[in-house]
Copies of this chain bind each other. A is one copy, B any other.
Amino acid sequence: MTSKGPVKVGIIGSRFEGDIHAASLQMVPDAAEVVAIASPTPGNAQKLADRYSIARVFTDYRQMLAEKDIEMVTITAPNNLHAQMTVDIANAGKHVVCEKPLCMTMEEADLMIDTCRQKGVLLMYAEELFFTPKYVKAKEMADQGAFGKVYRVKQAEKHFGPHADWFWDVEESGGGVFMDMGCHGIAFCYWFLGRPKIETVYCQMATHVHAGKTKGEDDSVCVLEFAGGAVGLVENSWARRGGMEDRIEVYGEGGVTYADLHMGNALPTYSEYGYGYAVEKAPTTKGWTYPVFDELWNYGFPQEMRHFARCVRGKAEPRATGEDGRVVQEVLNAGYHSARTGQKVALPYRPKGVRVPIDLWLKGETKP
């Protein structure tokens, strides 16, 4: 394994998120280089490899882990596979970048963190909102005192349903939109406020639109109470029409800021004829649309990948870690519990015998 030059990266997964990783890593050639991709669906992997000129393709990620030069492996597989993959990568002595949410259960989170620590590799949690430049600007202003004491932070992420079928299957995803995107908002509020202890979690959720496809919730709202008194409000939906929405609001006793990644950055556009691409999950490019520019950059993916590669090189400390992912995981579990009982849940919350988080909503906690 070399210790300088661009970090050599392998990607697990070849669908939507695998493509984002490949594209983002290619945008930071000074920091990283994708040398391999592994995906059980051979055609998919090869197509992605061709698109990004990636030399090595594997159908079994374990084979990829045998490649000596690979230093960092990113996981974009379904949520229920994250823990085992992380353990395998760590055991192969490679650094881990794991997509959100971290895993399915608190036991898995502990195992992932412990294994990586024991093996001396980094467990980096791919929460790109910590790198989203518009949101980073909001945090900079907050940290500079622009808003005085911040008492409320909101994040909302909404669209009309996930980009891959496995999300509909709660055995693979662990839950619906709260699991898929609530993890973003929880992480965001926690990070924005400086990682205060989360004291309580309340969650309301329902399956309004996609009940024919999934047992998972397609709309949720979550209220977090933090030590020190700040409140987080996290809204998510797979039932919002018209393309992606990702927004924050920050309220302090001395000020307020709003940031909208999509309509708030877009070029309001009318087209009779349509054009190439508007925005993630846009239904059309005809009529009025809100196309975005430099989509990956504006989400922060390339910046995130450069940062993780720099961490591998020892030039930075991970800004998003397995520990962050575990905090989020606890809130996800507590949120599903709360949605069932209609009561806010005090943390720490370590339910026993959880198989998939959504069961805490659908079935209730397994009493030992």
- A44 near B: Cβ within 8 Å? no
Is A231 a contact of B256 with CB atoms below 8 Å? no
Which of A134, A144, A239, A267 has its CB near the most chain B CB atoms (within 10 A)? A267
What CA separation (Å) do A289 and B147 show in the bound complex? Answer: 13
Is A254 a contact of B242 with CB atoms below 8 Å? no
From the candidates B229, B287, B342, name the one contacting A200 in the complex (CB within 8 A).
Answer: B342
The minimal Cβ–Cβ distance linking A279 to chain B, given in whole angstroms, is 11
Contacts of A209 in B (CB 8 A): 151, 253
Copies in the complex: 4
Is A231 a contact of B255 with CB atoms below 8 Å? no
Segment with Cβ contacts to B, from A94-102, A117-125, A183-191, A290-298: A290-298
From the candidates B264, B270, B284, name the one contacting A256 in the complex (CB within 8 A).
Answer: B270
From the candidates B136, B252, B293, name the one contacting A137 in the complex (CB within 8 A).
Answer: B293
Is B254 a contact of A148 with CB atoms below 8 Å? no
From the candidates B229, B285, B342, name the one contacting A208 in the complex (CB within 8 A).
Answer: B229
- A362 near B: Cβ within 8 Å? no
Contacts of A253 in B (CB 8 A): 208-209, 239, 241
What CA separation (Å) do A286 and B146 show in the bound complex? Answer: 8
Contacts of A291 in B (CB 8 A): 137, 141, 257
Residues A274 and B219 in contact in the complex (CB < 8 Å), given A204-B202, A209-B253, A344-B343 = no
The minimal Cβ–Cβ distance linking A299 to chain B, given in whole angstroms, is 12
Residues A259 and B267 in contact in the complex (CB < 8 Å), given A229-B208, A288-B288, A293-B136 = yes
Is A204 a contact of B219 with CB atoms below 8 Å? no
Is B223 a contact of A251 with CB atoms below 8 Å? no
- A193 near B: Cβ within 8 Å? no
What CA separation (Å) do A154 and B46 show in the bound complex? Answer: 44
Contacts of A233 in B (CB 8 A): 221, 235
What CA separation (Å) do A250 and B152 show in the bound complex? Answer: 22
- A240 near B: Cβ within 8 Å? yes
- A271 near B: Cβ within 8 Å? yes
From the candidates B149, B271, B287, name the one contacting A147 in the complex (CB within 8 A).
Answer: B271
Contacts of A292 in B (CB 8 A): 137
Q: Mark A260-271, 1 if CB is under 8 A from B, else 0.
A: 000111011111
In the complex, residue of chain B having the shortest beta-carbon distance to the beta carbon of A225: B204
Residues A255 and B229 in contact in the complex (CB < 8 Å), given A30-B29, A134-B293 = no
Besides A152-B237, A284-B287, 5 more A-B contacts (Cβ < 8 Å) are: A146-B271, A241-B253, A257-B267, A258-B268, A294-B297
15 contacts across the A-B interface (CB closer than 8 A): A133-B293, A137-B291, A137-B294, A138-B267, A148-B272, A151-B206, A152-B208, A200-B342, A206-B229, A209-B253, A237-B251, A241-B270, A254-B272, A258-B269, A283-B287
Binding site for B on A (CB under 8 A): 28-30, 133-134, 136-138, 140-141, 144-149, 151-152, 200, 202, 204, 206, 208-209, 219, 221, 223, 225, 229, 231, 233, 235, 237, 239-242, 251-259, 263-265, 267-276, 283-294, 297, 341-344
